[in-house]
Structure 1
Amino acid sequence: MEETKHHSPAIGSVPYDLMAEIVSRVGSSSLKALVNTKLACKELNEAGADVRVFQRASLESLPAVNWRLPDGASSFLRRCEESSNPESLYRLGMVEYFSSNETESGCELLKKASELGNLEATYALGLILLSEDSSSFKGLALLNKVEKNKSNKKGIEGCRSKSEKILRQLWIKKTIRRREIVCCRHTCRNGRMRGGWRGQWSTYEEESFCCQACKWNNELNDFVRILLGPKTYR
């Protein structure tokens, strides 16, 4: 029997919208995979310029500050920001608030990234609002939103770790205030600063806290420790 040969249709016959959607999903998993995909052929390279690609592109392999970016990456990151890529808005918001001391624009960028679903931005903005007012309803609501998000497999610790990774790349010029841990219960055993300025902060299980305000004020103080840096606690 004569062997039947199957030929794949030319990629040029694939609708542009479908091709752009595919490339954007590839880019959301890996920046390296996105680059390799765009190099595959002319059609894929053109689809790689679609706004959806910049909106969803993963930035995990790129540093947070422009002066550390490889050649050509600055313009790519700028396109991501212009396309409302949540991760790029989160990074820029962290840079604006904590490094450039542009607190208003930093908060606006974090707010926008949060509204687009970036949990790290929601976490950072919640703590900033909590630092301004220890009973901030908005701050507590944002932090509770992060904790309850079912897609957030790494939880609050993951958001804290991601924030620390970003902050370690920045020259910190703006910090936020620590807060006394104020609990709604008079018998609360967590109502004091843990460890002092030079001590080690303790990690507590959720059930050890009397209320949400108590727990999140402790998280705020852990975040401030990251901002101040490990040398402060030696």
Structure 2
Amino acid sequence: MGVQIKDWFCRTLNNSVDVDDKYITRHVSLEKFHVIPWTSNKQAEQAIFLDRCISSGNPEALYRHGIVQYFEKTEINSGIECLRRAANLGHLEAMYVLGIILILHGGEDKEKGMKIITDMKKSQTRNKVKEIREKFSRTLKLMWVNNTMVVGQRRPRCCTVHRDAKSKFHLWNKFADLDCEACCCDQEIINLWEIVPGSI
């Protein structure tokens, strides 16, 4: 893009952001940045950088901020809003996590969440869904999740027809294709329950 990243990063930290910088912060890849910084020095620098990206509408920055707000800081509303914004921009991981969260919330939200998950499994390849799931799993393992507040004390069940969705999974392939869409959603919820320590 004709911009020296080091110089641009310094300008970003010093609040001298112009139109071109806003375009860059909206589209820049965050692949090299840890979701959870390891040191306090990096936390401060990265927070300023990510704030710029969020303000510019960077989908990945919105996604990362959303899951940290929701699962770690238990800022439920702001977390969901960031995930919605990222999902509306076409961020697949945000769509997936938003679907999971809505299922956890139950009621009408549960039906909306199930539709998001089933639509994703229909529109994306199995490998793509696996990639999305694993990315979310890796991120959660780096975080301190407040189980009872954001996950809940009991695992929700999407399928009301089959006695136990887990019993339908092939032992050698937990995420085997299932005819029942609700059971497909239960697969994803069970995966979350296995990731989060102390979930019931």
TM-score range, shorter chain: 0.7 to 0.9
Residue 212 of structure 1 is matched in structure 2 by 181
Paired residues for 1:59-78 under 5 Å: 59-66=30-37, 68=39, 69=42, 72-78=45-51
Aligned residues of 1:55 and 1:84 also touching (Cα < 8 A): yes
Residue 180 of structure 1 is matched in structure 2 by 157
Runs of 4+ off more than 6 Å: none
Paired residues for 1:91-130 under 5 Å: 91-130=64-103
Residue 35 of structure 1 is matched in structure 2 by 5
Report the CA distance shift for 1:107/1:38 in structure 2 as closer, same or farther (over 3 A): closer
Paired residues for 1:136-215 under 5 Å: 136-150=110-124, 154-174=127-147, 175-177=150-152, 178-180=155-157, 182-184=159-161, 188=162, 191-192=163-164, 194=166, 203-206=174-177, 209-215=178-184
Report the CA distance shift for 1:140/1:181 in structure 2 as closer, same or farther (over 3 A): closer
Residue 13 of structure 2 is matched in structure 1 by none
Structure 2 residues without counterparts, runs of 5 or longer: 10-16
- The structure with higher relative contact order (CA 8 Å, sep 6+) is 2
1:96-132 per-residue CA deviation (whole Å, 9 max, x = no partner) reads: 1110011111111111111111111110110111122
Report the CA distance shift for 1:183/1:211 in structure 2 as closer, same or farther (over 3 A): farther
Question: Which protein has the bigger helix share?
Answer: 2
> AA paired with 1:110?
L
Q: Percent identity?
A: 28
| Rounded Cα–Cα distance in structure 2 between residues aligned with 1:116 and 1:159 | 16
Larger mean CA deviation between 138-147 and 69-78 belongs to 69-78
Structure 1 residues without counterparts, runs of 5 or longer: 1-21, 25-33, 40-45
| Rounded Cα–Cα distance in structure 2 between residues aligned with 1:115 and 1:124 | 13
The normalised TM-score by structure 2 is 0.75
**1:80 is matched with which residue: 53, 61, 69?**
53
How many matched pairs?
Answer: 183
**1:54 is matched with which residue: 25, 35, 43?**
25
The normalised TM-score by structure 1 is 0.65
